Chain A
C-alpha cells in the first residue's frame, strides 16, 4: 500500500474510525460554530447569513487603469477590493527613481502622491466598499493617503473599512518588501495599529500573513505556527505601549493559503482558530469574544499552479475555493490560471471570480456551517495539526522567539530548507502535479504560447512620471518641507508617526520623500547572510 503523508509531515492512515477520536472532548475541543474556541468557525450560521467576501487582488499600470479594472470587477459582482501596488511604491521609491526602472506599474499600480490615490478611488465610495491594501513597508503613508481620500470624499471615519496588510515581520521572512531594520519597522506597524484603533474603529490595521511564508516554501503547520507567533508578537508590541488587548485585538485579521490537500487545509484552519482563541483568552486575557476570533482571508497560492497546460490551473483554483469555503473563510481570493506566466489578464481575473461564485452558488459548500465536522478523519486531522503547529511554535521559542529568529535569519533558513525539500518531492513525484510530473504525455507540455496574456504597457512610465512632475511643480513646496521636517523630528522621538505622515501626504509629499526622511533616521535593514 502506498505511503501517504500530510504536507505537515505526519502520516495519513488509509482508514479513520471512532478510535481516532479518543481524547477528543467534543464540548471543549470542537464546541459550536460561533462559540469559543471557534474550531467550527467564528459565526453561528456562517454563509447562510453572509457569504464570504470575494476579493481578487488587482492593480497594474497607472491609477486610472486600475480604477477601470476595479469598476469592471465590481460590475461583475465582486464586492470588495484588494489593491496591488507596484514594487517602487511598496519600497518607497518615486516612479522617476533610477532604481524603479522597468518596475513602474508592473506588478501593481504606481502611487507617488495623494493625487494618484484620489484617481485610483475616483467614483468608488469608501464608506461603502471595503478595501484591502497589500502594502507593508510603506503601509503607514499609503494608509494615510487612503484615509485622506476617504475624508475628502466625505466618508465618516467610523464607516471606513480598510485592511492595510501592515505585517512587516513576514516581509523579512518572505516577500521581501522590507526597508528599515526590524525595530523601526515594528514601530511603524504599531503606530498604524494604534492610530487606526483610535480614529478609524472599523479598519483592520494589520493582516497577519502565513500565506507568503507558505508560498516561500514552509509546511502547512509552519504556516499556521509562524502566523500565530507573529500575531502574538504584535499583541505584545501593543500591550507594551499601554493599550488594553481588547482595544485592538478585535480588528486583527489573517491572510492564509488553502492550496494543497483539502482536508489537511480544513484541519489547519480548524486547529488554528482553536489555538488562536485559547492564546488570546488564556495567555493575553482578552475578554471581548471578537478578540478571540481568527478572521481570515483565505486565498490560493500561485505556487500551487504550473506552467504546463495552464488551463488546468482553473481546476486547481476550484479546489482551492472549495477548501477555503470548507475551512470557514471570511474572504476568499484566488490566484489566476495565468500566474505562472505573468500578472493576470482581465479574462483570467473574471474566471477566478466566477470560480468563487460557482462554489458559492452552485456547489452546496455554503449550505451549512463546517460541513466536515464530526468526520473521523477531519476531527483526528484537526488534532494532529494542532499538535504539529504546537511543535513548530515550541521550535520558534527555542530559537529565541519569532522576532529574534527573524533577526538572526533562522526562520528564513528553515523556510528555504523546506522549499528545497518540497522541490525534491516534486522531482521524485512524491508531490504530484498533473501534466508537470505525472501523466505527462509523450511530448512533455512546454509553455503554452497561445495563452492570452496581459500585455504590460510601456507608456505607463512616461505617463506616471509626467504626472509626478506636474504635482511637484504645482504643490506648495514650503508646506511639504515643513511636513517632512516634522516627520523627521517625530522619527527621532517616540510620538505616533501617523500624524506627521498624514500631514505630509495631504501636502502632496511623494512616497519617495516620506521614505527618504524616515530612512535618514532609521537606516536600512541588512539581510542576514546565507541561503
Chain B
C-alpha cells in the first residue's frame, strides 16, 4: 500500500503531516510527502503518477472544504476516483459532515490519537 501525504493550499504548518508520515512509515506503509504549498492539481497529478491508494490532506488554515473538493473533483475527472482521500488538521466538528458529503473517506481533527490514524490508513488502503 502506498500513501501520499500532501499539504494543499498556503498553510505552512507541517508538524502533523510529518508526524503522520513518520508513523505510517514505521508501520510499514510506503509514504510519499508532497512538501508545502502544493496546488490541488499538483496533488492529483502526484497521486496518479505515484500510483497511491490514499491521499492524506493536511490542512490547518480552515480552507479544508474548498481544497478537499478540488482534490476529489480532480481525481474523479482524471479517472482516479478510486484513490481515497482523507483529511487531517484543524477541522471544526460542523465541517466533518460536509467533508464526508464531498467524498472524504475519513476526517482526523486535531487531537486524534496517532494509532487511530495509522489503523484507519491501513484499513483505507486495504479496502481498495
Contacts and interface: CB of A to CB of B under 8 A. Distances in A.
Interface of A: 87-88, 90-91, 93, 99-103, 106-107, 171, 174-178, 215-217, 303, 306-308, 339-343, 416-417, 419-420, 423-424, 426-427, 436-437, 447-449, 453, 456, 527, 529-531
Contact of A107 (B18, B31, B37, B62): B62
Contacts of B17: 531
A101 B15 CA distance: 23
Q: Which of A447, A448, A456, A531 has the most CB of B within 10 A?
A: A531
B60 to A, nearest CB: 9
6 contacts: A102-B9, A176-B12, A341-B90, A341-B92, A447-B92, A448-B93
B115 interface: yes
Contact of A447 (B10, B35, B63, B109): B109
Contact of B11 (A87, A99, A306, A417): A87
B106 interface: no
Interface stretch (B19-27, B44-52, B73-81, B120-128): B19-27
A177 B37 CA distance: 9
10 residue pairs, one from A and one from B, having the closest CB atoms: A176-B12, A102-B63, A307-B111, A102-B66, A87-B10, A416-B18, A447-B93, A420-B22, A531-B33, A340-B110
Contacts of A420: 18-19, 22-23
B contact residues, range: 35 or more
Given A303-B15, A527-B35, 9 more contacts: A88-B10, A101-B66, A176-B14, A178-B12, A339-B90, A416-B18, A420-B23, A447-B93, A453-B94
A103 B9 contact: yes
Nearest to A90: B10
Contacts of B110: 306-307, 340-341
Contacts of B66: 101-102
Q: Majority SS of interface residues in chain A?
A: loop
Contacts of B9: 87, 102-103
Contacts of B12: 87, 171, 174-178
B114 interface: yes
Nearest to B11: A87
A419 B15 contact: yes
Given A176-B36, A340-B90, A449-B93, A103 B61 contact: yes
A163 B9 CA distance: 27
A529 B35 contact: yes
B67 interface: yes
A87 B21 contact: no
A93 B39 CA distance: 14
A424 to B, nearest CB: 8
Contacts of B13: 174-176, 216
A88 B93 CA distance: 25
B62 A106 contact: yes
A99 B109 contact: no
B15 A215 contact: yes
A531 to B, nearest CB: 4
A417 B36 CA distance: 18
Contacts of B115: 427
B65 interface: yes
B21 A436 contact: no
A97 to B, nearest CB: 10
Contacts of B62: 106-107, 342-343, 456
B77 to A, nearest CB: 17
A99 B13 CA distance: 17
B113 interface: yes
Given A176-B13, A217-B15, A423 B23 contact: yes
Contacts of A531: 5, 17-18, 21-22, 31, 33
B121 to A, nearest CB: 15
Nearest to B10: A87
A453 B36 CA distance: 27
A419 B19 contact: yes
A338 to B, nearest CB: 9
Interface in B50-106: 61-63, 65-67, 90, 92-94
A103 B21 contact: no
